[in-house]
Amino acid sequence: MKPREGKKPRAGRARRRLVVRQVECKTVLNRSSIGQYTMNCYTGCQHSCIYCYARFMQRFHPHPEPWGEFVDVKVNAPEALGRQLKRAKPGSVFVSSACDAWQPLERKWELTRECCRMLIEHGFRVNALTKNTLVLRDLDIFRPGLTQVGVTITTLDPRLAKLWEPAASSVEERCHVLQTARDAGLETAIMFGPLLPALSDGQDSLNALFERAAELDVDLIWVDAMNPRPRVWPSVGPFLRREFPELHDRYSRLLHDGETREAYVKELGDRVRKAARQHHLEGRLAGCP
């Protein structure tokens, strides 16, 4: 990708500096093991979640700014996609795997919107997963049978969500996304993850999360344990020292000690299945630790 332009100040809730670069890409649709394809119109994400797994992108696209403080805008994404669609076989596209496709900059650039419109027009299925209400702007282009609208929720506690996901829409706003998408006749999904050890992964928290999923009548639910992906601990560790010092060593063991992690994931899976059973949602549980 080739940089085309300089910096802009960020206007956002987290009041962080944001460096925006306009770049050109050769491709925007990629083959993937997550779905048949993934599509990312941006590199970087303004939502700045503390646990973000997409930080690994910095290995392939090094930036001087920390994660959450840069976004590369692939300004020619629709043109690149147009070229790819001449040859690509229709399939499911996960939007997005390495950024939030509806992060605040998308309001101005409308790249995700245009690319989703093109995908659906060519018979591809768009599986959206976001933490931003901006996705509702695009209801007019989504099509039942060719679109699933999903949101990620890691906790129902607004204070915790604000700490861990400082610039994402509130949890209530994300639930509103699901309700609105469902009312529009679209399939809906929730990703509960990564659950926050000792903060949102207890039985009571899980029961409350599944109760909300039942109220929203979502079609599919995934649950994910926090993963020791590259570059996650350098963000999570100092954050815990600052906000939850009593949890620092516990998270460190869960993420880095194989035996501790194995036992944790098994127990978490048991609790998740129990909560799903309690709310008659076992059949909708598509992924569980």
Query: Binding to ligand SF4 by residue 191, rule CB under 6 A?
Result: no
C-beta closer to ligand SF4: residue 48 or 84: 48
Q: How far apart are CA 165 and CA 115, in angstroms?
A: 26
Q: Residues 84-103: x/- map of binding to ligand SF4 (CB under 6 A)?
A: ---------------xx---
For position 52 contacting ligand SF4 by CB under 6 A, the verdict is yes
Within 8 A by CB and 6+ apart from 6, the residues are 21
Per-residue x/- marks for ligand SF4, 246-275, CB under 6 A?
A: ------------------------------
β-partners of residue 74 are 23
Read off φ and ψ for residue 37, nearest 5 degrees: -140, 160
The 151-170 site mask, x for binding ligand SF4 (CB under 6 A), equals: --------------x--x--
- Side by side, the strands of the sheet bearing 92-95 are 29-31, 37-39, 92-95, 125-130, 147-153, 187-195, 220-225, 285-287
**In the complex, least distance from residue 53 CB atom to ligand SF4, rounded to whole angstroms:** 7
Among residues 60 and 245, whose Cβ is nearest to ligand SF4?
60
Residue with smaller CB distance to ligand SF4, 161 or 186 = 161
Contact between 174 and ligand SF4 (CB under 6 A)? no
The residue among 131 and 271 lying less far from ligand SF4, judged by its C-beta, is: 131
224 binds ligand SF4 per the rule CB under 6 A? no
Count of residues that bind ligand SF4 according to CB under 6 A: 11
Token pair, residue 220, equals: 């599919």
CA dihedral 210, 214, 220, 223 (to 10 degrees): 0
Angle between helices 77-85 and 111-121 (to 10 degrees): 10
The distance of Cα 242 from the centroid of its chain, to the nearest Å, equals 24
Q: What tokens does 208 get?
A: 């409350």
39 binds ligand SF4 (CB under 6 A): no
Residue 112 as a binder of ligand SF4 (CB under 6 A): the answer is no
In order, the DSSP letters of 208-244 are: HHHHHHHHHT-SEEEEEE----TTTHHHHHHHHHHH-
Q: Are 83 and 41 in contact (CB under 8 A)?
A: no
Among 47, 212, 279, 284, binds ligand SF4 (CB under 6 A): 47
Site string for ligand SF4, 119-138 (x = CB under 6 A): ------------x-------
Residue from 20, 54, 71, 80 binding ligand SF4 (CB under 6 A): 54
Where does this chain bind ligand SF4 (CB under 6 A)?
45, 47-49, 52, 54, 99-100, 131, 165, 168
